[in-house]
């Protein structure tokens, strides 16, 4: 489906992350974890880039994608976008989806790779699903933690959702985890990891290293779903 819609809301998530909301057109159905193609006029030309939906299909009135602002031309057009400005959107696309097909899942996310995980967590929470979700969310600093408040609120509403935040360059006051996601952390945080379906999303290098790590932990390929944010 391809449509042109006005921006109805813009939400600043962190110093360099913003979410963009559009009215959800009738008939636009998608699964948690899928992505859209967003086309904008950049320096006179239409430019198209993929973005995971950070909204959940349970949210009937809007769809949302979330952009890490890079200072590059496409990003700057989005950064300067005002409510009422148009974007051309097509989709949905992607196979890294989850609608509760498995009773226990582990989500491994790096940086802006949190976006499809937000869709999955929101969907399961809104559906009152009893799927056991363990999300490990890695970032550099406290200031980079997009959606932390939303995840903390979801954990209040969904006893089956647990989130482990880990920061590789945390300030001294951070009392949480400080490592990159590694085998040791997975074994400690997810002792029943062998019973879980894994989802990985983040920059390509992170996705590759997580996949290699899970393979070395004897997790078979059919228990790993992944989305690499190529271009980021
Ligand atoms: C399925 C999928 C889902 C995605 N979902 C998201 C999402 O939810 N949120 C999100 O933010 N992104 C997402 N992406 C990535 C997104 O599509 C963009 O590629 C990304 O946001 C960067 O776009 P940009 O225009 O800001 O930067 P670009 O100009 O495309 O630059 C991308 C990278 O290339 C390098 N680069 C480009 N130009 C230069 C230059 N002149 N000098 C030096 N380095 C340069 C930089 O490392 C830069 O970070 C997704 C990608 C895929 C494939």
CA of 37 to the centre of ligand 1 (A): 13
Nearest Cα residue to atom 22 of ligand 1:
232
Q: Where does the pLDDT of residue 52 fall: very low under 50, low under 70, confident under 90, or very high at 90 and above?
A: very high
What are the CA-CA distances from residue 166 to residues 79, 177, 198 (Å)? 27, 5, 18
pLDDT > 70: percent of the chain = 100
Question: pLDDT tens-digit profile of 108-134?
Answer: 999 999 999 999 999 999 999 999 999
3-state helix, strand, coil in the chain (%, to 5): 25, 35, 35
**pLDDT exceeds 90 at position 231:** no
pLDDT of the residue at 232: 64
The CA-to-CA distance between both ends of the chain, in Å, stands at 25
Ligand 1 atom nearest to CA at 68: 11
CA 168 – CA 42 distance, rounded (Å) = 34
C-alpha 82: how far from chain center: 23
User: Looking at residue 180, what DSSP letter applies?
Assistant: P
pLDDT of the residue at 90: 98
- Model pTM? 0.96
CA of 39 to the centre of ligand 1 (A): 14
CA 53 – CA 57 distance, rounded (Å) = 9
Smallest Cα–Cα separation from 125: which of 164, 158, 159, 163?
A: 158
> In this structure, are residues 9 and 85 in contact, taking their beta carbons and an 8 Å threshold?
no
CA of 184 to the centre of ligand 1 (A): 30
Domains and CATH numbers, the chain: 2-93 (2.40.30.10), 104-228 (3.40.50.80)
Nearest Cα residue to atom 10 of ligand 1:
67
pLDDT > 90: percent of the chain = 99
Helix axes 114-126, 148-157, angle to 10 degrees: 20
CA 146 – CA 163 distance, rounded (Å) = 13
Nearest Cα residue to atom 7 of ligand 1:
51
pLDDT of the residue at 224: 98
pLDDT of the residue at 82: 98
Question: pLDDT tens-digit profile of 32-48?
Answer: 999 999 999 999 999 99
Q: What is the CA radius of gyration of the chain?
A: 17
CA of 86 to the centre of ligand 1 (A): 21
> In this structure, are residues 26 and 104 in contact, taking their beta carbons and an 8 Å threshold?
no
For a mutational test of ligand 1's pocket, the pick from 46, 49, 207, i.e. the residue with the most ligand atoms closer than 8 A to its C-beta, is 49
Q: How many residues does the chain have?
A: 232
Question: pLDDT tens-digit profile of 64-77?
Answer: 999 999 999 999 99
Ligand 1 cavity residues, CB under 6 Å = 35, 49-52, 65-68, 70, 72, 74-75, 94, 112, 115, 227, 229-232
Question: pLDDT tens-digit profile of 4-24?
Answer: 999 999 999 999 999 999 999
Count the Cβ atoms, other than its own, within 10 Å of residue 178.
11
Identify the burial level of 67 via C-beta atoms within 10 angstroms of its C-beta, where 0-12 means exposed, 13-18 middle and 19 or more buried.
buried
Q: Where does the pLDDT of residue 141 fall: very low under 50, low under 70, confident under 90, or very high at 90 and above?
A: very high
Q: Where does the pLDDT of residue 99 fall: very low under 50, low under 70, confident under 90, or very high at 90 and above?
A: very high
Question: Span 67-89, mean pLDDT?
Answer: 98
């Amino acid at each position: 489906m391809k449509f042109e819609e006005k921006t109805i809301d813009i939400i600043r998530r962190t110093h360099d992350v913003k979410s963009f909301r559009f009215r959800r057109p009738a008939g636009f159905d998608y699964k948690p974890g899928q992505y859209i193609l967003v086309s904008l006029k950049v320096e006179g030309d239409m430019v198209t880039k993929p973005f995971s939906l950070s909204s959940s299909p349970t949210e009937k009135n809007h769809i949302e994608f979330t952009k890490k602002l890079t200072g590059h031309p496409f990003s700057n057009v989005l950064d300067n976008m005002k409510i009422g400005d148009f974007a051309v959107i097509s989709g949905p696309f992607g196979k890294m989806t989850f609608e509760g097909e498995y009773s226990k899942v582990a989500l491994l996310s790096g940086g802006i790779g949190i976006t499809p995980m937000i869709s999955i967590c929101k969907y399961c929470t809104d559906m009152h699903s009893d799927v056991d979700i363990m999300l490990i969310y890695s970032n550099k600093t406290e200031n980079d933690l997009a959606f932390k408040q939303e995840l903390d609120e979801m954990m209040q509403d969904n006893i089956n959702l647990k989130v482990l935040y880990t920061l590789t360059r945390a300030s001294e006051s951070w009392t949480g985890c400080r490592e990159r996601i590694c085998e040791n952390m997975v074994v400690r945080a997810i002792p029943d990891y062998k019973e879980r379906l894994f989802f990985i999303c983040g920059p390509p290098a992170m996705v590759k290293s997580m996949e290699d790590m899970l393979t070395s932990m004897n997790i078979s390929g059919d228990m790993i779903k992944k989305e690499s944010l190529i271009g980021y």
